[in-house]
Amino acid sequence: MTSQRHGFGKEFIEVSSLKISAQNLLSEDVKKLMVLRSKGDNHPFLGIREGNIFQVLFIEYQFGDIYTH
């Protein structure tokens, strides 16, 4: 199944792609974050996956708050 860009699904982004204010909240050992999107308002969840657990670190309230799309 495929979906449109910024549609349902996941992708990985480099921490360096985040706005500086968000980068400053992460430890230096974090290099990439997983971005998950779902149907509806399409706000992305950014976090780290450890085994079967996804730890949400950011929820983007407005498009572009955390990183430039």
Number of structural domains in the chain: 1
Residue 65 lies in a domain: no
Report the C-alpha gap between 23 and 7 in whole angstroms.
24
Residue 34 lies in a domain: yes
Residue 15 lies in a domain: yes
Residue 24 lies in a domain: yes
Residue 43 lies in a domain: yes
pLDDT tens digits for range 19-39: 999 999 999 999 999 998 876
Tokens 């909240």 belong to: 25
Q: Would the pLDDT of 57 be above 80? A: yes
Residue 13 lies in a domain: yes
Residue 1 lies in a domain: no
Q: Which domain holds residue 26?
A: 9-59
Tokens 């290099």 belong to: 31
Residue 64 lies in a domain: no
Q: Compare 42 and 57 and report the one with higher pLDDT.
A: 57
Q: Looking at residue 55, what is its pLDDT?
A: 95
- Stated as kind and residue range, the H or E segment containing 12 is strand 9-14
Q: Looking at residue 49, what is its pLDDT?
A: 92
Q: Would the pLDDT of 4 be above 60? A: no
